[in-house]
Structure 1
């Protein structure tokens, strides 16, 4: 490396230790010394001016400078394990507050909680008068579940500065049991004895009471807090508590009063609109979101909610206008395409298909492709559907397996089962160890009555996961239903039942296998239990058939009739009726 470049890099480190964070991209999960997974890139938090690390006193040893230089270069090259571990090691070695702060902030951003706690302890020890260091240590102690230690530290901060963050501690107790929260509540009450007008303590106590299910006490505390500090935040806290206590009319009244005082308050109007949605007053909610969007025209989340409310209120033109505007925002474009497709489905299916195929990632990608595939196959456009799925797998390789399985399922449903099996074989050539693909191919083979192929794939899965209850059940049920290997079927299903004793699907299979073995009474008990827990038409078909076999014809017909009321197109029940009671179909 040229000397000039080394000097520039070294100077950059010294500047960084005075508070300037390097803009390196970091993954989100780092242990104390090693990266464990990749995440989307993001910047390490740059400390705000009041949170900058203090300049290091004196000069660093050459090996420390070199280690920090290597760390920063590693960060630029996405070697995040080295970035964090070098900083943490040098923080331990030098006890320098600047290095310790940098290590702490990197670890916090990476969600490396153990490393963050270790670094925060070093920073707080090296800078005992730095309130930011002490506050961050308290937060890390809370994250580690060390609430007593955190509370002790926050008390010390409160005595020293009067600025302890009790609110975060209170909000972090939701996963504790009530007894543990009561201990912390006792600490809050003791401190309130010394600081009765501390609004952060009162806010934190309100949250603790709310989490503990003491809504009335929480509201009393929130009212006392609002009297001390009548700001929007504390007013909204009171209003949310009123709503949770079922006093929504009173909450809406307070919101109306607040909006009269300040019509431009976004948070107040947003809560007002949300409560209107909760009370099913959708036209009124639409009006409030219209005002919000008018006041905040660049807030895409508000605009999306407005569009969805327009759809609910049967205002398709308004919905389409707002969704079309959202296409300009990359963060919301796929959501916009999805809902524009829904609007177009009935009258303009080609336009719907165009919109659906734009949704290639996110939580709506599979649903969008399912609807698009259905529309294309209904129009006999199989090759067009296959081409779109191929393109989607290329554009979003992380979702490739799901696209394969969905396409195969669509092909099977619309009469192209062999094409679906061929597609899944292609997928397994690409992802040979994928158990979900193997299972999907096994289920596709079952639909074509190729039980040998089905059993082959399920046995492969069981070779890798012998305690996979769903696979044990699927194979056992197929053997009970399609072959005379009843004892083998019962053994497989019994193993599944041991693994998942309360699964109604497995209970149904167990009952069906016992019926095949001639144990009618035990079969009826199990099938009745399965139907009570999971009122599915297939379970009803099974129970009805066993009842019929025992001469309980009227009860069997009642079971089938009830199932057909909820699913009149059930082929399973209709096939049973064709075999056993064709007169009922007439």
Structure 2
């Protein structure tokens, strides 16, 4: 006869909630459950040594199938058969703990592991509780768990480290140092690895200054150990104590002049602090003493590249290729640098060598296409683009379509994109957007509108299609239709800066709803404060609201970032309105020379001539 529900029954709802949360992910549960139950069986065997004999549990449980619904039922049977069974209580706490970990509920997991730890003398449970307490920063519980872990495994260097960290959190610096010393003296780990572990742990402590102070004390006792100085430099850099970090890195270099790592750390810190010249001087000095150090030269090349010293970086890549002429990453990097420097023949040589090596073929084909396109060799460009696949496939096919349009073969371009949509349905939406843009560029916005509306029949909520159609509608002066599409995007994605900007600019530029447009542009600017188009829109909104001085502030910044013809037209108009006639004409003239057919400049010309 079954007994009445005992004290565990009140806890069951928590477990059931966690079980239910896992029912939709049974494949993951099966893997976790099998591994967990093996551990659990070990714990139960260990616990049996300290509890009275209990009634046997049926061996035909379906727990071992990993089905958590059945597991919950089984727990109920165990509890109802004998609510005074300590194994049932232990079983409950461990299962809730493990489920809580899987559900990222670290607080509940820690509570359950602590409860289990107090019932069973098992080092694994104590260790798990201590590690969770470190993560949760529950220092009183953590110290209890770590001390239990150490009591069960007194030779464990990891347990000593855990106790030391909790002692440090409690302000017991001397006690912490005693436990850390056990870790550092462990012969199986070795002093260098032990110090590295300790450095990582201390750098992650809530009070990182206290951690650094302890590490300084430890390292002070090892003045002749370069590795100790290096670990101190790393931790000090992470804590933000660059003064300590630089001195420690310098000491490490003096102790072991052939060790590269301290030099690189010193250089990185100086670069972060803005000491560019000092960092480069040191790097060049070290490299001069180690001219054959490939990794160091590669680091130097990348440093130059990050500093936008492109020509110098390419020179270093050329030296690297002398040592490893078939290294695909260096070949590719050198090719991109040569492209950026407009050294066409040099870039072409590197790309052809990359093809010969048989690496990064799609990238090589694509950039060879770009080089040919830049030279006006459209046939050659189309041929190279046609070879590109993989991640370059979509962009290469779109470039081919653009080149066909440039040659006046609009129909062929559209046919190619239509075929691409059929062969690659996963890219059909992007192909529709591309085709619509091509059609619009050749002066057929009505056809672009038809195409985008057809695509929206398949993807009615596609943001890319709605945005493209809105721009076409603005061009066709269908402002209400454009506003509908842009507001549909904003309803879906209130943080879509480009939709906010497009709608705001349309209202400011094409209607008298200036204030409403200004508010939309302000929202866009808050999301992307350095975007030149949005800065230009905001400046134009201020101009339309009558604040030309404020308008000039934003549009000048936009023009500096991106000297676009439309931004130039706005800037010229505002300068003219402020009486800066010569400067206005200069801005307009420079933009006109670059693109005399741009519609915005044609409109500005009329304004300036009035």
Aligned to 1:408: 436
Decide whether the 8 Å contact of 1:370 with 1:410 is kept in 2: no
Separation (CA, whole Å) in 2 of partners of 1:34 and 1:467? 33
Separation (CA, whole Å) in 1 of partners of 2:433 and 2:241? 48
Q: When the two structures are superposed, what TM-score results if normalisation uses the length of structure 1?
A: 0.63
Aligned-pair distance for 1:505? 5.1
Aligned to 1:319: 350
Q: 2:604 aligns with which of 568, 576, 583?
A: 576
The range that moved more, 492-501 or 434-443, is 492-501
Q: What is the DSSP-based 3-state SS (H/G/I as helix, E as strand, rest coil) of the residue aligned with 1:534?
A: helix
- Kindly report which structure 2 residues correspond to 1:65-214, keeping only aligned pairs within 5 A, or say none: 70=66, 85=102, 157-158=183-184, 160=186, 161=189, 162=191, 164=193, 167=196, 182-210=209-237
- Kindly report which structure 2 residues correspond to 1:256-295, keeping only aligned pairs within 5 A, or say none: 256-259=288-291, 263=292, 265-274=293-302, 280-281=311-312, 284-294=315-325
Q: When the two structures are superposed, what TM-score results if normalisation uses the length of structure 2?
A: 0.61
Aligned to 1:497: 522
Separation (CA, whole Å) in 1 of partners of 2:283 and 2:334? 22
User: Structure 1 stretches of 5 or more lacking a match?
Assistant: 1-32, 38-43, 45-52, 72-80, 103-112, 115-120
Q: What is the DSSP-based 3-state SS (H/G/I as helix, E as strand, rest coil) of the residue aligned with 1:372?
A: helix
Q: 1:211 to 1:350 in 2, by over 3 A?
A: farther
1:16-63 C-alpha deviation (Å, 9 max, x unpaired): xxxxxxxxxxxxxxxxx87999xxxxxx9xxxxxxxx9x979979999
Aligned-pair distance for 1:548? 5.3
Separation (CA, whole Å) in 2 of partners of 1:410 and 1:371? 11
- Kindly report which structure 2 residues correspond to 1:170-569, keeping only aligned pairs within 5 A, or say none: 182-210=209-237, 218-234=245-261, 236-237=263-264, 240-241=267-268, 244=271, 245=275, 246-247=277-278, 248-259=280-291, 263=292, 265-274=293-302, 280-281=311-312, 284-294=315-325, 297=326, 299-308=327-336, 312=341, 314-316=345-347, 318-326=349-357, 328-329=358-359, 332-345=360-373, 346=375, 348-357=377-386, 359=388, 362=391, 368-389=396-417, 401-465=429-493, 470-483=498-511, 486=512, 488-497=513-522, 500=525, 508-509=536-537, 512=540, 522-535=546-559, 537-542=565-570, 544-545=572-573, 556-561=584-589, 563-564=591-592
Aligned-pair distance for 1:378? 0.8
Aligned-pair distance for 1:442? 0.4
User: Structure 2 stretches of 5 or more lacking a match?
Assistant: 1-20, 26-31, 33-38, 47-56, 68-97, 129-134, 137-144
1:483-502 C-alpha deviation (Å, 9 max, x unpaired): 4xx1x342232354267466
Separation (CA, whole Å) in 2 of partners of 1:135 and 1:35? 39
Aligned-pair distance for 1:322? 1.9
Decide whether the 8 Å contact of 1:490 with 1:510 is kept in 2: no
Separation (CA, whole Å) in 1 of partners of 2:475 and 2:161? 58
Q: Choose between structure 1 and 2: higher helix proportion.
A: 2
Decide whether the 8 Å contact of 1:270 with 1:292 is kept in 2: no
Decide whether the 8 Å contact of 1:417 with 1:444 is kept in 2: yes
Decide whether the 8 Å contact of 1:469 with 1:495 is kept in 2: no
Point out the structure with max Rg over C-alpha. Answer: 2
Separation (CA, whole Å) in 2 of partners of 1:414 and 1:217? 63
Separation (CA, whole Å) in 2 of partners of 1:147 and 1:64? 49
Separation (CA, whole Å) in 2 of partners of 1:424 and 1:136? 64
Separation (CA, whole Å) in 2 of partners of 1:356 and 1:511? 40
Decide whether the 8 Å contact of 1:206 with 1:221 is kept in 2: yes
Q: What is the DSSP-based 3-state SS (H/G/I as helix, E as strand, rest coil) of the residue aligned with 2:290?
A: helix
Aligned length, in residue pairs: 493
Decide whether the 8 Å contact of 1:135 with 1:165 is kept in 2: no
Aligned-pair distance for 1:315? 1.9
Aligned-pair distance for 1:447? 2.2
Separation (CA, whole Å) in 2 of partners of 1:137 and 1:513? 60
